Amino acid sequence: MQSNILYDKFNSIVNKKFVIFVMGPTASGKSALAMHLRKYLPVELISVDSALIYKHMDIGTAKPSSIELSKHPHRLINVVDPGEWYSVSNFRRDVLQSIQEIFYMNKIPLLVGGTMLYYHILLNGISALPKADLKLRRKFLYCKVLGDKNFLHKYLSIIDSDAAKIIHPNDIHRIIRALEVYFITGQKMSILKKKTSNVFPYDVIQFAVIPDKLCLYNKIKYRFYNMLHQGLEFEVRKLFYRGDLNIESPAIRCIGYRHMWLYLLHEISYNQMIHDAIIATRKFAKKQMTWLKRWPNVHILCDKKLNLLTEKILYLVYRRYLYTLV
């Protein structure tokens, strides 16, 4: 009964066109929190996760179950096949369209996920970069095979030294993107990225779930073992034997998938795969938390219990939008 009363109260502020962000590191429980909030807020969910966009990659991405998705639909989940490219500009276009559709439904868009680059691009606009050229990318990949290990990075350092300084020599996807931009436009990517447009047009209230580091690291460990128990190896094997994917494919570069792929290539042992995947996930979570702690205008949430996290969000949203916006 109480949740229905709260829902009706919040239903009266949807015409004020604001957006809610629920951010957090991997395994922090942000997805469960977002789904729980639907009981109290007239929200529609939009996923902000660069791994959840892929179809056929459910276990290793910790994607909400089919039952959860039927009860709590998420936009921008299962958007593309693992063999397709999905850029940040694609994301920005799709999420802005989804927000408009949700406003049209007289609901509040709630964005949930941990891909901080997506949030950054959404809030600050996107640089004036050209669309991907798949033929050109294939040529660069062919050059990588023919040349030495760091051939493309060395080439980039000649063309765009500023970009080369911030892109790791092993990050082949970003190296190729920088080269692609130069060959299409004749301009350095490091310069074009400074020219942004289309700043986020809506008011936003941002929340970040930051759990205790030790608890989070333990949760990451046990979650990966659970993924293995659920059939992660079989899921990756199906992708492995498709024939159109490789270790450099954006989808396979996702944590867990890349490590299982290396195991299937017989480059590492099964135990090494487990160890490396867990360590990589912990490092990624640490990076996410560092980013979030420096994030401007964000409400940090550290409570362990779902109900307490929900109460804090409801209080802050209620205080900000029921009284400050007319």
Longest Cα–Cα distance in the chain: 67
Q: Where are the alpha helices (DSSP H) in 38-133?
A: 66-71, 88-104, 116-124
Q: In this structure, what token pair is assigned to residue 323?
A: 């009284």
Question: Does the annotation flag 30 for ligand binding?
Answer: yes
CA distances from 50 to 16, 80, 125, 207, 295 (A): 29, 11, 18, 19, 19
Structural Rg of the chain based on CA atoms: 21
Question: Does the annotation flag 27 for ligand binding?
Answer: yes
Q: Where are the alpha helices (DSSP H) in the chain?
A: 2-11, 30-37, 66-71, 88-104, 116-124, 134-146, 151-159, 161-166, 172-185, 189-192, 213-230, 232-240, 257-264, 270-293, 306-321
Strand partners, 23: 113, 208
Question: Does the annotation flag 29 for ligand binding?
Answer: yes
Among 279, 267, 127, 107, which Cα is nearest to 191's?
A: 127
φ and ψ at 204, to 5 degrees?
A: -140, 140
Q: Where are the alpha helices (DSSP H) in 50-170?
A: 66-71, 88-104, 116-124, 134-146, 151-159, 161-166
Strand partners, 45: 74, 110
Taken in order 84, 85, 91, 92, is the CA torsion positive or negative?
negative
Question: Does the annotation flag 31 for ligand binding?
Answer: yes
Name the binding residues for ATP. Answer: 24-31
Name the binding residues for substrate. Answer: 26-31
Name the binding residues. Answer: 24-31
